[in-house]
Amino acid sequence: MTGSAGEAAPLIRLRGVTKVYGSGQAELFALKGIDLDIQAGEFVAIMGPSGSGKSTAMNILGCLDKPSAGQYLFRGVAVESLSRDQLARLRRRYLGFVFQGFNLLARTSAQENVELPLLYRGESGPQRHRLATQALAAVGLAGWEMHTPAELSGGQQQRVAIARAFVTQPAVLLADEPTGNLDTQRSREIMDLLRDLNRNQGITVLMVTHEADMAAYADRLVHFIDGRIDRDCANPLAVSAVA
């Protein structure tokens, strides 16, 4: 989906992005020339069967991998030309990540888990504490700051992971199957949180999901098949899904 005339330049632009693994007879094209524009403030669900390329695309969008060919522009900057240190700074400054497996430090409190990205950014101790406390309160975990992951339910652990992802106020939050390990009720609570971050804080949300009922929270659907974008459209169910 490309922007219409008069629309702001996209936050993210992929042009002809290809990703190849292996060589010779073992060569595998995970992405086959992807074109994709994402505007600031969008909520996009990236969908497709296993092996379709959606996770590879997400890794490239999150600057966790580089394309084999093509161009990735983030705020007009060519990402593939950045050094490793520059990529790390881009991730710290502009991107937040939520994973299916929570990825919390097991022996560390919820408060300390949320403070971690602030520590990497060099924030002072008092500032880290204040921002992490606010983030945990925003996801409904005020009073749970000193609990370790083992003392939290799956839904609470994912709330901690979301607080950690947005505590730095990133431009983009990338969520990879964020409800995959949760029951239906907890899944809806997590999706409500993501939608709130998108609508009320203006954070662009890119979410990989297999689940149509979770994708219904997104405003736009991008379907991958066989390393290509098969369909890119506004979500016709988005309004009714969040009414």
What pLDDT sits at residue 101? 81
Q: Is 191 left (phi over 0), alpha (psi -120 to 50) or beta?
A: alpha
For residue 1, what pLDDT band results from cuts at 50, 70 and 90?
very low
Task: Indicate yes or no: pTM above 0.85.
Answer: yes
Per-residue pLDDT at 24 exceeds 90: no
Q: Assess if residue 1 is contained within a domain.
A: no
What pLDDT sits at residue 7? 61
Evaluate whether 98 touches 147 at the Cβ level (below 8 Å).
no
What pLDDT sits at residue 120? 87
Instruction: At 93, list the tokens.
Output: 């400054």
Evaluate whether 132 touches 167 at the Cβ level (below 8 Å).
yes
Per-residue pLDDT at 235 exceeds 80: yes
- What is the residue-wise DSSP string for 210-230? S-HHHHTTSSEEEEEETTEEE
Residue 168's domain spans which residues?
12-241
Per-residue pLDDT at 8 exceeds 80: no
Q: Assess if residue 222 is contained within a domain.
A: yes
Instruction: At 94, list the tokens.
Output: 């502009």
Q: Assess if residue 110 is contained within a domain.
A: yes
Per-residue pLDDT at 241 exceeds 90: no
Give the chain's domain count. Answer: 1
| Beta carbons within 10 angstroms of residue 151's beta carbon | 12
What pLDDT sits at residue 186? 86
Q: Is 227 left (phi over 0), alpha (psi -120 to 50) or beta?
A: left
Q: Assess if residue 153 is contained within a domain.
A: yes
73-84 CB burial, b ≥16 within 10 A, e <16: bbeeeebbebee
Q: Assess if residue 6 is contained within a domain.
A: no
Q: What percent of the chain has pLDDT over 90?
A: 78
Q: Assess if residue 2 is contained within a domain.
A: no
Q: Assess if residue 149 is contained within a domain.
A: yes
Domain CATH number, residue 221:
3.40.50.300
Q: Assess if residue 7 is contained within a domain.
A: no
What pLDDT sits at residue 242? 43
